Amino acid sequence: MWALVDCDNFFCSCERVFRPDLNGKPVVVLSNNDGCVVARSREAKAMGIKMGLPYYQMLEQYPNSGITAFSSNYKLYGDLSARIMAILREEAPNAHQYSIDEAFLDLQGMDESTLKEWGERLAKKIWKWTGVPVSLGIAKTKTLAKVASKFAKKYPGYNKCCFIRTDEQRIKALRLFEVCDVWGIGRRIGKSLALSGITTAWDFSLKSRKWVKNKYHLPAERTWLELNGYSVTGIDEMEGRKKQSIMTSRSFPEMLTTIEEIKPHVANYAARCAAKLRKQKSSCGVLMVFVQANYFREDLPYYSNSASYYFSTPTFTTTELVTAALEVLSTIVKPGIHYKRAGVMVSDISSGEVIQPDLFDYDQNRSQKYRSVSDAMDEINRRLGADTVMLAAQQYPQKDEKGKSVKFSHAIKRAMKSPDYTTSLDAFLIN
């Protein structure tokens, strides 16, 4: 048996932990630079607020509606997530974190007759210890457990835990579940299935395995098997799957017109990509940088461009990736454009533990120096907090009223960010 623990409206729930006055009221969390809605409470969803709605449009469409908006506070969300995962590792034989707000639990060896009661107790414990509500789905496969968790979240009668134990319960659940909401299907395949008259998960499960494999290939075939009660997706396989490309991209707080203004952003994006490569113990052979003007400003000229850098020897060091990104940036930025967005993507990903150097263009001493610097930066930032140490190119110059640079800081707009209640003594609540 598998259990899927899913935090309810996680980002909004984290904000409510220290703002209980917002319980029962509409709450939204915004993306970086306070751009658009990325999380909604149940009350905000009921009002019709859509995911991805720009914040300024939300203010226009829902004036005087009592919605409380927060800037994203990933330090708070990450800490509360870690606390929840620690509880799960104590309560289950094996716990495997799937995302910041989800975890699969391997319940092998546990008494099936007690699993429903156990799940309800676990949900209560997490709520009591962290203040974050969770929903549990229990079933024979991970895909069915995801289905069950949706029912536990939607219907209060399940008391936060839905257990699909019998084949009759499985059939009933799949008949009530839209196929596009099935884990592994998504909207694109869901639209294709709808053209074949398949609208529910039950309709999909009734198709032949050969038909599914021929039309949608292996991932959909695995989903079909799991909906029919065959567990085929192993946790080790899920955790061991490394990303084949990594991108970091954001919109700027305001439109930028010079390369000097854009450079710190691109340097930070490249540094984030380097950190992600090291986290999954990989290196990259190609780095791509892109820039875009504001597509929605019809009064301004539109421009977008991209270019790539090919490393002779794969790398994961911050210094090399930032240097390459800035070199590429200089070839694609042109004057007279109001830039709104940029990004960095690394690809041609291979092992970072065994790197094949270029025979004619490889300096071992230089490479080792860059690796040592990256390792030292990772360790300092791990101990003292993100971005405690960074390259000079990553710093954003701030100007005074006369236009002179006076200090350096980060350039992400977070005007409505909540305090770091659980990780900073300065934010500790004192009556």
Per-residue pLDDT tens for 176-193? Answer: 999 999 988 888 888 899
**Is 246-394 CATH 3.30.1490.100?**
yes
Predicted confidence at residue 359, as pLDDT, reads 58
Which range scores top for mean pLDDT: 85-99, 150-164, 409-423? 150-164
The phi, psi pair for 188, rounded to 5°, reads: -65, -50
Predicted confidence at residue 410, as pLDDT, reads 47
Average pLDDT of the residues of the chain: 87
Mean pLDDT of 409-416: 64
Predicted confidence at residue 406, as pLDDT, reads 41
Count other Cβ atoms within 10 Å, centred on residue 338.
Answer: 17
Predicted confidence at residue 428, as pLDDT, reads 64
The phi, psi pair for 8, rounded to 5°, reads: -80, 120
Q: Does the structure show a pLDDT above 60 at 160?
A: yes
CATH 3.30.70.270 in the chain is located at 77-237
Residue 383's pLDDT band, with cuts at 50, 70 and 90, is confident
Q: What is the pTM of this model?
A: 0.72
Per-residue pLDDT tens for 202-238? Answer: 999 999 999 998 988 888 899 999 999 998 866 555 5
Q: Provide the CATH number for the domain formed by 77-237 in this structure.
A: 3.30.70.270
CATH 3.30.1490.100 in the chain is located at 246-394
Per-residue pLDDT tens for 232-257? Answer: 866 555 554 567 789 898 888 888 99
Residue 169's pLDDT band, with cuts at 50, 70 and 90, is very high
CATH 3.40.1170.60 in the chain is located at 11-72
Assigned CATH topology for domain 11-72: MutS, DNA mismatch repair protein, domain I (3.40.1170)
- Listed as own residue / partner, the contacts of 188-193 with beta carbons closer than 8 Å and 24 or more positions apart are 189/216, 189/220, 192/216
**Strand order across the 161-163 sheet:** 94-99, 102-106, 2-7, 134-139, 161-163
Mean pLDDT of 134-153: 95
